[in-house]
Amino acid sequence: MRKTWNFHGGVHPLENKTQSNQLPIVVMPAPKQLVLPLSQHMGKAGKAVVKPGDYVFKGQLIASAQGFVSANIHAPSSGYVSALEERTLPHQSALSGPCIVIDTDGKDQWGDLNPTIDPKLLSKSDLLYLIQAAGITGMGGAGFPGAVKLQPKSSIHTLIINAAECEPYITADDRLMREYADQIISGIQLVQQLLDQPQCLIGIEDNKPEAIAALNHALNQHMNIEVCVIETKYPSGGEKQLIEILTGQQVPNEGIPADIGIVCQNVGTVKAVFDAIVLGQPLITRITTVTGKAAVNAGNYEVLIGTKVADVLAFAKVDLIKTSRLVMGGPMMGFTIQDTQTPIIKSSNCILAAADLELATVADHHSCIRCGLCEVACPAELLPQQLFWFAKAEEFEKAQDHNLSDCIECGACAWVCPSQIPLVQYYRYAKGRIKALNNETQLAELSRMRFETREQRLVDEKSAKEEKRKLRATAAAAAQAAKRAANPTSADPIAAALARVNKRKQEQQTATTPKSPEEVYKELKTAAAITRTKLNKTSKALTDAKAQDHEQAAGLQETVIALTTKAAVAQAKLHAYETKLGLDPEKEKILQVSVAKANGTIRQLEKILATAADPKRIEADILNAKATHEAATQALADHQTNLTKKPTSAQES
């Protein structure tokens, strides 16, 4: 027997495996409808390559991997794609996500399969391609795309097959090994071929004697594969824990097993590799345990990926009235689902339909007495109670200092806690918040940079403008100087300047002659406005001065009188021109006001509409108001076109 090691902590919950591991795997027929989430794995979601209405054969690619960490999805049965829509995902949040919905036609007709007759001849890249194409992801629970782990950057000396199945209740891998031992061994050999023939250790808990016997029977002397029986202790099936048990080595912090020359694969995953390469079948079914006191026919079922939980439960005769908690996955790490329309995905290894009192009740939790049982149980060698205090107090930095990120959420601490504190939920909360805070910090840093760049840009633009203006000025000055230099004989510059000014005046006058009447009107208007403002200002200054008995008052008085006449003259000029043009500013003002009023009424009515009791009537009112508004706008527009048309006619006349 091979030497094995022990990992720190761990617990021994009741196994509850005999309910489901007695009977052979039953193949469940294709249900009426299959729901396939585009994201069944870690990493990027796949991209649908079919559209509603398409007919798909069993095994046909329906969504393709996007990027390195992603996986293909295939049609589990033949039928028509009925929708691409949001459906409830098998996720703790019970949120929806994009799914491909297939209405099966019952024919279960395979598309073209490309089985490999002699896989030994396949090159490494061929093997990888086939695994990738078959959409294989980790079948143990996390669902990491399989091909990613199988192309490590460093050389691999040990391949570990995780057959521990340490979670209570689950027996899917147990039954799989009993019934498909040969396929599993062949699958392992294919993976060994891919990884340059490392030694292979199958880690299996000693509570599965039949599976151990089946595997040993399938092995022969010449294979570099060994079945390692380990003590039954939760969570020995955790990747890091299993590696420590079998090799005595610990995966370095923030590292991956490949860093120490180890690759770990679930036993279900190697079976899928066998199916993909030897049979040419993509990953479209899996073995799922249905168990719990509410399940009459508890056992293991081979179900199509995408089968709804409701269908599986009905097939296993689960009494939904007796079920108080539906857990997807095992009781230690699984998540509850509330919607039985949730589909089975590639990583769904168990559905636990628990009756009342079968699982831990929603107990009141007491305060932590720092008993330290959690520390004894923690397989990650953390201080769970300290993490709990930090998570509760939202002291996330301290939680990180105490290596919260190394927590594997196995639940051993919460299982032993005498105060029944939901410790794992506290850690998940803290982890989620830390992630969100980190995102926020990153976004803030980005925003800060963008803000600063923008400020800099604005400053640059301003200074560039200033620079241009200066350049123009100097250029003009230089041109003048050049002119003068070129023409030094011309008499004194003052005379020249005067001449220029006169010339310009003349030019201006000639330029003004063809001035459009609109411009004249505008000029007159401006002049009138300017004098009016001046007058207002001065008269105000005058009253101030008078109030203070200032000596300037007399001077100001004169200015005011002069300005008054000036304003009167300007106003008269403007008025004369207006009559000449046939304009009526009073009328325009009135029209403008009526437009604004109509506008206001519409707004008000719309506001009322939002909270109104009888929206029909108010809608009618709004329509009325809109009509009024339109009429008013039309009138105003007509009037303004007069302004542009009439002057021309006025000029002509």
Partner 1 sequence: MALVNLSSPHHHSLNKTSRLMVWVLLATLPGLAVQSYFYGYGTLINLLWASFLALGFEAIVLGLRRRPIMPYLTDGSALVTAFLIALALPPFSPWWLTLVAVLFSIIFAKHLYGGLGNNPFNPAMVGYALCLIAFPVSMTQWAGTEATLTFGQQWQWFWLESVTGGIDSWTRATPLDLMRRTNGLTLTEVASSNPQLGLGLVASMWINLAYLLGGLILLAARVFTWHAPVAMLAGLGFCAGLFHMGEPDLYPSASQHLLTGATMLSAFFIVTDPVSGATSRKGKLVFGVGVGILVFIIRSFGSYPDAFAFAILLMNLSAPLIDTYTQPKAYGHQPKKSRSQGEE
Partner 2 sequence: MQTFYFAIVILALLAIVFGAILGFASIRFKVVGDPIVDQIDKLLPQTQCGQCGHPGCKPYAQAIANGEAINHCPPGGEATIKALADLLDLEAIPLDAEHGSEAIRTIAYIREDECIGCTKCIQACPVDAILGAAKQMHTVIIDECTGCDLCLDPCPVDCIDMIPIEVTPVNWHWQQPEQLIATSSSPYSHGAPDHA
242 binds partner 1 (CB under 8 A): no
Comparison of 193 and 336: residue with beta carbon closer to partner 1:
336
Pairing outcome for strands 158-162 and 323-328: unpaired
Binding mask 332-371 for partner 2 (x = CB under 8 A): -------------------------------xxxxxx-x-
Residue choice 6, 8, 64, 97 for contact with partner 2 (CB under 8 A)? 97
Q: How far is the CB of 28 from partner 1 (least distance, A)?
A: 22
Q: Copy the structure tokens of residue 138.
A: 């980790």
Give dist(CA 451, CA 58) in Å, integer: 53
Give dist(CA 536, CA 457) in Å, integer: 42
Of residues 451-480, those binding partner 2 (CB under 8 A): 451-455
409 binds partner 1 (CB under 8 A): yes
Give dist(CA 236, CA 48) in Å, integer: 37
Q: How far is the CB of 405 from partner 2 (least distance, A)?
A: 14
Residue choice 103, 196, 381, 440 for contact with partner 2 (CB under 8 A)? 440
User: Would you give the end-to-end CA distance of the chain in angstroms?
Assistant: 119
- Name the segment binding partner 2 (CB under 8 A); options: 159-167, 169-177, 209-217, 446-454: 446-454
DSSP state string for 118-137: -GGG--HHHHHHHHHHTT-B
517 binds partner 2 (CB under 8 A): no
Size of the site for partner 2 (CB under 8 A): 49
Of residues 11-30, those binding partner 1 (CB under 8 A): 11, 13-14
251 binds partner 1 (CB under 8 A): yes
263 binds partner 1 (CB under 8 A): no
Binding mask 196-235 for partner 1 (x = CB under 8 A): --------------------------------xxxx----
- Name the segment binding partner 2 (CB under 8 A); options: 48-56, 91-99, 483-491, 598-606: 91-99
Of residues 425-454, those binding partner 1 (CB under 8 A): 425, 428
Q: How far is the CB of 145 from partner 1 (least distance, A)?
A: 23
The dihedrals phi and psi of 11, each to the nearest 5 degrees, come to -135, 170
448 binds partner 2 (CB under 8 A): yes
Q: How far is the CB of 382 from partner 1 (least distance, A)?
A: 5
Identify what 2 binds: partner 1, partner 2, none; CB under 5 to 8 Å per kind: partner 1
Residue 445 CA, chain-centre distance (Å), reads: 19
Asked if 312 and 291 count as a contact pair (C-beta separation under 8 A), the reply is no
127 binds partner 1 (CB under 8 A): no
391 binds partner 1 (CB under 8 A): no
| Closest C-alpha to 313, from 304, 329, 332, 326 | 326
Of residues 137-196, those binding partner 1 (CB under 8 A): 168
Give Cβ neighbours of residue 107 (< 8 Å, ≥ 6 apart).
Answer: 78
The dihedrals phi and psi of 285, each to the nearest 5 degrees, come to -130, 165
Identify what 380 binds: partner 1, partner 2, none; CB under 5 to 8 Å per kind: partner 1
91 binds partner 2 (CB under 8 A): yes
Of residues 392-421, those binding partner 2 (CB under 8 A): 392-395, 398, 421
Identify what 5 binds: partner 2, partner 1, none; CB under 5 to 8 Å per kind: partner 1
Residue choice 23, 443, 471, 511 for contact with partner 2 (CB under 8 A)? 443
Give dist(CA 469, CA 461) in Å, integer: 12
Q: How far is the CB of 501 from partner 2 (least distance, A)?
A: 40
Q: Copy the structure tokens of residue 452.
A: 């600063």
| Closest C-alpha to 144, from 347, 342, 395 | 347
Give Cβ neighbours of residue 241 (< 8 Å, ≥ 6 apart).
Answer: 7, 10, 235, 379
Q: How far is the CB of 614 from partner 2 (least distance, A)?
A: 26
Give dist(CA 276, CA 274) in Å, integer: 5
Comparison of 93 and 220: residue with beta carbon closer to partner 2:
93
In angstroms, the Cα distances linking 643 to 205, 255, 575, 578, 584 are 95, 79, 14, 10, 9
Pairing outcome for strands 96-104 and 158-162: unpaired
Give dist(CA 354, CA 16) in Å, integer: 12
Give Cβ neighbours of residue 387 (< 8 Å, ≥ 6 apart).
Answer: 399, 402, 404, 407, 423, 426, 427, 430
Give dist(CA 284, CA 287) in Å, integer: 11
Q: How far is the CB of 367 from partner 2 (least distance, A)?
A: 4
**Which H or E run includes 309?**
helix 309-315
Q: Which residues bind partner 2 (CB under 8 A)?
A: 39, 89, 91-93, 95, 97, 363-368, 370, 385-386, 389-395, 398, 421-422, 425-426, 428-429, 431-433, 435-436, 439-440, 443-448, 450-455
